[in-house]
Amino acid sequence: MKQLTETLLSWASILEDTTREQAETTATMPFIHPHVALMPDAHLGLGATVGSVIPTLGAIIPAAVGVDIGCGMIAVRTPYTADELPADRAPVREAIERAVPLNAGAANRTVSRDHTRERLERLRSLADEAGFDPATYAARWELQLGTLGSGNHFIEVTVDEESRVWLFLHSGSRGVGNKIAQHHIGVAREQCAGEQLPHRDLAYLTEGTPEFDAYIAQMRWAQTYALLNREEMMDRVARQFAEWVGTAEVERTEEINCHHIYTEPEHHYGKDVWLSRKGAINAEAGRPGLIPGSMGTASYVVVGKGDPASLNSAPHGAGRSFSRTRARKTFTVEDLRAAMTGIEYRDTDAFIDEIPAAYKDIDQVMADAADLVEVRHVLRQVVNVKGD
């Protein structure tokens, strides 16, 4: 851990100057208590750095929470080992691609399954309690439950250090969460129109106002949507995996589902704060968590150590070191094929900007996080599914 300023601590050994400057700017906001914690995977983001933990008193910065509200990971350990898997992995990849709509605007054409209906009923009820209609943000929000999205979202079949098979996926609150976030970022800018902010995306909402209450209610709904979206997809993935290995149902010997873009009220350094983890997981002592690498590198099942200086937090992944545009100009489809050797994936140049070399070295990120989490399992993918 390195103290960069009075209100900024960093665990990142790889930190670009622009990323540091952005984090320093966020840390100057007057309601930060006691400091911003910069995670090992930190990189530039909208308004505030991705990979930062931002504690605020009496206010919240919607852009510092993030636009993919509730984005996170879910992992399920199966009773299978690597040597029990069929040699041909293409069928399970293709089956998952059919079962889970993948792309940015993807939608399910049916919500007839019982568990899907139950999750939708829960979300409708929670929206009524929160006093808003999600359809005002995204008309197809119900049809996007159980869809992956594009970018760095993925589904994987992975194997740990003991050859045990895990199902692993990364996604968030889809279009509706993004629209909720964008709306409230705009409201915050309106509320701060007369103030001299260090950056317009550091506009905030003040606790006790109707605007603050509306954001919190809708943001919490989106966090629940993201959690249930991952559950819905995992049900579908597990069903396809079961058919592939020739069983009726896959026993889940362990399951972890955690956010890494969200905010919650927590108590730190003697005060109740709104703790925004924009690209970080809760790593309080004993808490299980998931830290993914890129599409061709290892991911980690961890348990938190409860480091108080980090505000009980840990990194959420590898973190980009190349922008998508720069990655496409730098790498080729042949580079991607080489990086994905031995992994079943859809061979397309659409994934060049997701090549592992476009991300920080996940092993270095985990070394930087040694005081924050204990590694329980290292997962290496044998099947990778992504949306264009």
Q: Give the burial class of 146: count Cβ atoms within 10 A of its Cβ; 0-12 exposed, 13-18 middle, 19 or more buried.
A: buried
- pLDDT tens-digit readout, 298-324: 999 999 999 999 999 999 998 888 989
Beta-ladder partners of 265? 274
The answer to whether 35 is a known catalytic residue is no
Say if CB 293 and CB 80 are below 8 A apart. Answer: no
Sign of the torsion formed by the C-alpha atoms of 211, 217, 221 and 227: positive
How far from chain centre, in Å, is Cα 84? Answer: 30
| pLDDT given at position 112 | 47
Catalytic residue among 35, 43, 170, 316: 316
Q: Which residues contact 352 (CB under 8 A, 6 or more apart)?
A: 327, 328, 331, 332, 333, 335, 336
Q: Which residue numbers in the chain have pLDDT < 70?
A: 104-114
Q: How far is CA 86 from CA 19, 51, 83, 243, in A?
A: 44, 38, 8, 11
Strand intervals (E) in 284-357:
288-291, 299-304, 313-315
The answer to pTM > 0.85 is: yes
Phi-psi sector, 313: left (phi>0), alpha (psi -120 to 50), beta: beta
Task: State the Cα–Cα distance between residues 144 and 385, nearest whole angstrom.
Answer: 18
Give me the residue label for tokens 């209906």.
Answer: 117
| pLDDT given at position 103 | 72
For 72, list phi and psi in degrees, rounded to 5: 180, -160
- Topology at the third CATH level for domain 2-321+359-386: tRNA-splicing ligase RtcB (3.90.1860)
For 259, the 3-state DSSP assignment is strand
Task: State the Cα–Cα distance between residues 234 and 226, nearest whole angstrom.
Answer: 12
